[in-house]
Amino acid sequence: MSKPVVAVVGRPNVGKSTLFNALAGERISIVQDTPGVTRDRIYAEVSWLDMTFTLIDTGGIEPESKDIILSQMREQAQIAIDTADVIIFMTDVHQGLVDADSKVADMLRRCGKPVTLVVNKVDSFEKYMTDVYEFYNLGIGDPIPISAASRLGIGDMLDEVTKHFAENAKEEEGDERPKVAIVGKPNVGKSSLINHLLGEERVIVSEIAGTTRDAVDTEITWQDREYIFIDTAGLRKKSKIKEELERFSIIRAVTAVERADVVVVVIDAIEGVTEQDAKIAGIAHERGKGIIIAVNKWDAIEKDDKTIYKHTDRIRQILSFMPYAEILFISAKTGQRTRKLFDMIDVVLENNSMRIATGVLNEIMTEAVAMQQPPSDKGKRLKLFYITQVAVKPPTFVIFVNNKELMHFSYTRYLENRIRDAFGFQGTSLKFIIRERK
Ligand code: GDP
Ligand code: GDP
């Protein structure tokens, strides 16, 4: 099941970042351990009781003038409405209720999505509680007093937020159709690709960047099998600010990837693979989804017999954190290899949920250990007792060892490679959990 998405909306300085940090702890990043990919604070995974959700900060408002703040808040709220399952609307007891709050509250009330109204900086309930009641005037439910800085009231807030998850979860449950997210920078050809797969001009594609349309999920049948394509091109943000556009395309990617089984990361062959592509691909990697890199506009570049290898090398270099990803060179315009995409989606789906029997895994591990001695430190040598697969999507393995400290990343990588030699697992990441057994 996909993780719910929660978005935080609010005026500058109400304490959104502080709340974000309080909830996300150390785990704030776009891609961990991914060289060349800058750490960013756009989204984070949050756990509360037995639930996890993705928190996104639609943020980035510069407090310049009042008019700008309101229009930016509206945009922010719109992003939240388009992408989130639950919206946290944050206000500030010190600033009190301001006009922009009321206007945004109107927008949120109309959208019909669950909204949790939070009043921050209530550092002392005694002192501020009467001021909190004022926020009932927004007409979007009970205001929940919190102090993000001193982590007060956070539990009550999370209870309120997570209460809404169950309603949403039901909708997608039971839908066995594979979900494929098409992600990538603006103008790489996501809409064109969906169009081509659909085989009809149902979707309006335009030469002008910034065209909008409504449909987001598209049903496509291929050889009697139905797929749901999640298209992030649909909701497009018009902005001249590069950072804002990037932020928006990342938020879109996060929410689409969350719901997907397989992610097709579309790259522009003319431009080549970029850092922005790496960020987007990193989201799919972090979430353990099946991944296909589709290098689009292959028709538009001059080729010789080395072109494909040059492109592949460059992609492998920039996306070095996901060597397992499948790469396909396509043209949404001419349809070159777009059929192959479906075959690849099927393979990747299968690999992402493949289970290997414990007996076979242990045979491979024993053989691997015999071929390359495990590392040792200060006279203590790593012993590997047992390996078993505990989960799929992505395939997740637990390895029992004598001492966790001795299990180096490079040795885990070595075992991963032996497992991949045996079973392939193309297009999916593998997860390893190391446990000690004395
Ligand atoms: P953002 O612009 O909404 O992301 O707001 P920030 O998280 O950057 O916070 C703005 C200011 O409010 C900072 O100086 C924070 O230290 C302060 N702040 C945040 N939460 C609290 C709180 O619970 N109590 C108090 N007194 N100050 C807070
Ligand atoms: P999106 O923003 O990712 O949805 O990109 P679009 O599908 O709107 O395409 C952006 C531009 O690239 C349009 O002008 C398309 O005609 C063009 N385009 C898309 N796919 C291809 C392709 O395979 N080859 C070429 N030459 N142009 C393409």
Tens of pLDDT along 94-108? 999 998 899 999 999
**Per-residue confidence at 209, pLDDT binned at 50, 70, 90?**
very low
Average pLDDT, the chain: 84
CB-based contacts of 149, cutoff 8 Å, min separation 6: 15, 18, 22, 121, 123
- Ligand 2, atom 11: nearest CA belongs to which residue? 187
**201 vs 102: CA distance, rounded Å:** 41
By most ligand atoms within 8 Å of CB, the mutation choice from 11, 17, 18, 23 for ligand 1 is: 18
Question: 177 is written with which tokens?
Answer: 């159709």
Q: Please tell me which residue, 167 or 6, carries the higher pLDDT value.
A: 6
Burial 114-126 (b: 16+ CB within 10 A, else e): bbbbbbbbbbeee
- Verify whether ligand 1 is closer than 6 Å to residue 285 (CB atom): no
Instruction: Say what the pLDDT of residue 170 is.
Output: 53
Q: How far apart are the first and last CA of the chain?
A: 35
Mean pLDDT value across residues 209-222? 58
320 C-alpha to ligand 2 centroid (Å): 26
Instruction: Say what the pLDDT of residue 40 is.
Output: 53
Instruction: Say what the pLDDT of residue 203 is.
Output: 45
16 C-alpha to ligand 1 centroid (Å): 7
Instruction: Say what the pLDDT of residue 242 is.
Output: 65
**Does 234 score more than 60 pLDDT?**
no
- Verify whether ligand 1 is closer than 6 Å to residue 395 (CB atom): no
**Cα torsion through 120, 124, 130, 134, rounded to 10:** 0
**Does 211 score more than 60 pLDDT?**
no
Looking at the CA of residue 150, tell me the nearest atom of ligand 1.
Answer: 23
CB-based contacts of 224, cutoff 8 Å, min separation 6: none
**Does 63 score more than 70 pLDDT?**
no
**Does 372 score more than 50 pLDDT?**
yes
288 C-alpha to ligand 1 centroid (Å): 34
**319 vs 321: CA distance, rounded Å:** 5
130: how many CB neighbours lie within 10 A of its CB?
Answer: 8
By most ligand atoms within 8 Å of CB, the mutation choice from 182, 185, 187, 218 for ligand 2 is: 187
248 C-alpha to ligand 2 centroid (Å): 19
Q: Please tell me which residue, 428 or 194, carries the higher pLDDT value.
A: 428
Question: 21 is written with which tokens?
Answer: 């940090």
- Verify whether ligand 1 is closer than 6 Å to residue 121 (CB atom): yes
Instruction: Say what the pLDDT of residue 383 is.
Output: 94
Instruction: Say what the pLDDT of residue 354 is.
Output: 95
- Verify whether ligand 2 is closer than 6 Å to residue 237 (CB atom): no
Looking at the CA of residue 195, tell me the nearest atom of ligand 2.
Answer: 7
- Verify whether ligand 1 is closer than 6 Å to residue 58 (CB atom): no
Instruction: Say what the pLDDT of residue 312 is.
Output: 96
- Ligand 1, atom 6: nearest CA belongs to which residue? 15
Question: 367 is written with which tokens?
Answer: 């053989």
Q: Three-state secondary structure along 386-428?
A: EEEEEECCCCEEEEEECCHHHCCHHHHHHHHHHHHHHHCCCCC
329 C-alpha to ligand 2 centroid (Å): 14
- Verify whether ligand 1 is closer than 6 Å to residue 157 (CB atom): no
Q: SS3 for 359? A: helix
- Burial classification of residue 262, based on how many CB atoms lie within 10 Å of its CB (0-12 exposed, 13-18 middle, 19 or more buried): buried
The residues facing 181 across adjacent strands are 230, 263
CA of 329: how far to CAs of 18, 85, 275, 297, 335, in Å?
43, 35, 19, 8, 11
By most ligand atoms within 8 Å of CB, the mutation choice from 192, 204, 206 for ligand 2 is: 192
411-436 residue pLDDT tens? 999 999 999 999 999 999 999 999 99
pTM over 0.80: no
**Does 272 score more than 80 pLDDT?**
yes
**244 vs 259: CA distance, rounded Å:** 23
Instruction: Say what the pLDDT of residue 71 is.
Output: 79
Q: Please tell me which residue, 328 or 34, carries the higher pLDDT value.
A: 328
- Most confidently predicted of 41-55, 69-83, 310-324: 310-324
**Per-residue confidence at 230, pLDDT binned at 50, 70, 90?**
confident
Instruction: Say what the pLDDT of residue 3 is.
Output: 81
**Does 172 score more than 70 pLDDT?**
no
**Does 246 score more than 90 pLDDT?**
no
143-165 residue pLDDT tens? 999 999 999 999 999 999 999 88
Kindly state the greatest CA–CA separation across the chain: 75
**Does 34 score more than 50 pLDDT?**
no
92 C-alpha to ligand 1 centroid (Å): 9
- Most confidently predicted of 18-27, 57-66, 236-245, 377-386: 377-386
Mean pLDDT value across residues 193-218? 56
